[in-house]
A and B are shown apart, each in its own frame.
Chain A
Amino acid sequence: MNNSELIAVLASILLQASPLMIAVMGETISERAGMINLSLDGTMLLSAMAGFIAAYETGNVWLGFLAAMIVGAFFALIIAFGTINLKQSQVAIGFVLTILGDDLSAFLGQNYTRLPGPTLGRYSVPILRDIPILGDLLFNQNVVFYIAVLLTIFVWWFLNKTQPGLQLRSVGERPEAAFARGVNVNLIRYAYSIAGGALVGFAGAAYSLAIKIGWSEGHTRGIGWIALAIVIFGGWAPIRGAFGAILFGATKTLATVLQSKFPEVSVVAFNAIPWILMIFVLLLVSNEWVEDMILKLPKRFHRPLRKFLRVSPPLALGEEFEKK
């Protein structure tokens, strides 16, 4: 493999990772506020479909993304309403919406399969694109990539450096304490669930309008679940979540590369890579024996390794909040 091939492979990994990064950011802010949106797989399918149809009918890609964001926000709204107002289980509603989103996308999109439609293309950043290697890798990419990177940086900054970000984290960690300080816990949870859902919707449309262009039944099936697993692997932190997305984006590209290198192995076998990786990374971040192994190492490695490998969820994740 020569240099330009290598750069092409790396650029393709970043492109494959971009919509995953966006979905992971959406789910991260929702879960950091304490709200699990389990419906990601269904939400992304339905928004990929809605985004494609809206863009196809209007001829405008951005209207497609807008429609997808509305779909994503609406599903998140159902979960927020069902859990905050009606006190039902987040997992139960999320699961039903997963199945429903899948079926609805197949039904509503039945007349729009395999059609050519408008797409979001590549944009070269002037000047920066001329930097050797990095220029081709980072500044001659699809617009979705720039959005994903800027969003990741923004979410990191928002969560860790701003007052509203602190408030967001407080309702996900210690809602009683936040309430005692005058924070309207449920209102904040509504707001960030909906915002997170809209981002997930955007990610769905990123597939049908930029990464895996067009619409067909089950277009993004499975990707929502991978995004949910990345949020856990990422330890509910944006930068780490983005690296998780790149890791999984790499499996897609890896499968394509391996396929061309080993044509005798069945195409089907390579599809298994992301799911094996999913089990592996979840074992790594939550397993007890990882902790045992860390403890066997010299003491000065404990803290950095634990920070690198171990994660813990927001304390009030998935729990309802009631004013006392």
Chain B
Amino acid sequence: MKEKLKKFYILIPVLGALLFISILLIIFGTSPIEAFSAILNGAFGSQQKFLNTSAFWVPLLLASTGLLVTFSAGLWNIGIEGQIVMGALAASAVALNVEASKPVMLTLEILAAMGAGGLWAGFTALLKTKGKVNEIFGGLALTNLSIILTNYMISGPWQPPEGGTFRGTAPFASEALFPLLASSKFSPLALILSISALALVGFILSNTYFGLKLKSLGKNHYSAFLLGVSSDKEVFLSMAFCGALAGLGGAVRVLSWFDSLRQSISGGIGYLALLVVMLAAYRVILVPFIAFFFSSILTGSISLQLKTQLHSSLGGILTGVMVLFVILFGDRKKIFKKKMDQNNE
């Protein structure tokens, strides 16, 4: 009985987060039940809404999948936000400058996006291995540079012909965009790509020597060294792999969620993906479910803002508090360890 109860321990921090948000909502004069049902309705209320939640989910899943690899290697790839942005930029460059049939366009866009994301992550890895610059700082600086580059392109070379609004480029030609389902933003092709990536990563991490090397690197740098794992090479490969998936996620953002390059093209998906993987405690199988859960909260809170004027950052607060509470209190083994040690004495 006690064992069964312990399995539900993880729910306590989640309920704590809901309570926190409820108090916040009451302070702002909104009934929590109404707000939560508005979020649910915004995420799942109609077929269209459900498809849009799924469309938000796909790039988040791609980024989270990439992060599984870097986290396994013990790396904090906070620069993933910039890798998504670079992917979006590269896909836009192809979309704006190449004219070809849809299959050719999509192939080129995807390759360019994965290359650009991988390159940006590779820079971060080289700064770490060759320059001893911590990947958190290298990644953040590169993220900001990628955002500045986006704003520069939008306000300069890629300005729409009717004059720059600083908000985005002109919409791309329809050949450049992902085929979408039922006038939603959801692309089945992008979903297939992201599920394959997840399966590939699950396979690499649990069944290959490369996966074992990464994990040994993440767990203990000294034992990895003894195993003969050249950590520089693994750091580069895992970062570039993650960056390529993040870049693909950026392409999905411009080619299905939007139809052009926008100012905040990633919208914080990279940071959200970091939270997803942290909440999943780095377990592959949990990642798609948590990513979908987060997607529904985020898309739901956007429609909450339209309905009640409450700022859509509420969704971010809910996910953030949840992850914070789970990190702090979710690991019952660690919390109860002290107690057990005392009992054993």
Contacts and interface: CB of A to CB of B under 8 A. Distances in A.
Q: Are A and B subunits of one complex?
A: yes
Interface of A: 38, 78, 81-82, 86-89, 91-93, 95-97, 99-100, 102-104, 106-107, 110, 222, 225, 228-229, 232, 266-269, 271-272, 275-276, 278-279, 282-283, 286-288
Given A103-B320, A287-B132, A272 B148 contact: yes
B131 A287 contact: yes
A92 B311 contact: no
Interface in B315-345: 316-317, 320-321, 323-324, 327-329, 331, 334-335
Given A88-B328, A104-B317, A282-B138, A96 B148 contact: no
Contact of A266 (B155, B268, B278): B155
Contacts of B323: 96
A279 B141 contact: yes
B170 interface: no
A274 to B, nearest CB: 8
Contact of A86 (B78, B151, B271, B334): B334
A82 B328 contact: yes
A267 B335 CA distance: 51
Interface of B: 24, 76, 78, 127, 130-134, 136-138, 140-142, 144-145, 148, 151-152, 155-156, 268, 271, 274-275, 278, 310-311, 313-314, 316-317, 320-321, 323-324, 327-329, 331, 334-335
A275 B144 contact: yes
- The residue among B136, B142, B275 with the most chain A CB atoms within 10 A of its own CB is B136
Nearest to B27: A108
Contacts of A93: 324, 327-328
Contact of B148 (A103, A228, A269, A286): A269
B327 A82 contact: yes
A66 B59 CA distance: 42
A29 B321 CA distance: 27
A92 B24 CA distance: 24
Given A87-B334, A275-B145, A99 B311 contact: no
Main secondary structure of the interface of A (DSSP, over half): helix
B141 A228 contact: no
A279 B138 contact: yes
Contacts of A222: 144
Given A91-B76, A268-B148, A282-B138, A99 B156 contact: no
A173 to B, nearest CB: 20
Nearest to A272: B148
A96 B133 contact: no
Nearest to B271: A99
Nearest to A222: B144
Given A91-B76, A92-B278, A93-B328, A268 B151 contact: yes
B221 to A, nearest CB: 14
B138 A110 contact: no
Contacts of B156: 266, 268
Given A92-B278, A222-B144, A266-B156, A86 B329 contact: yes
Nearest to B278: A92
A102 B313 CA distance: 9
Contact of B133 (A86, A228, A286): A286
A276 B145 contact: yes
10 contacts: A82-B328, A88-B334, A92-B327, A100-B320, A103-B313, A106-B316, A107-B317, A110-B310, A276-B145, A282-B133
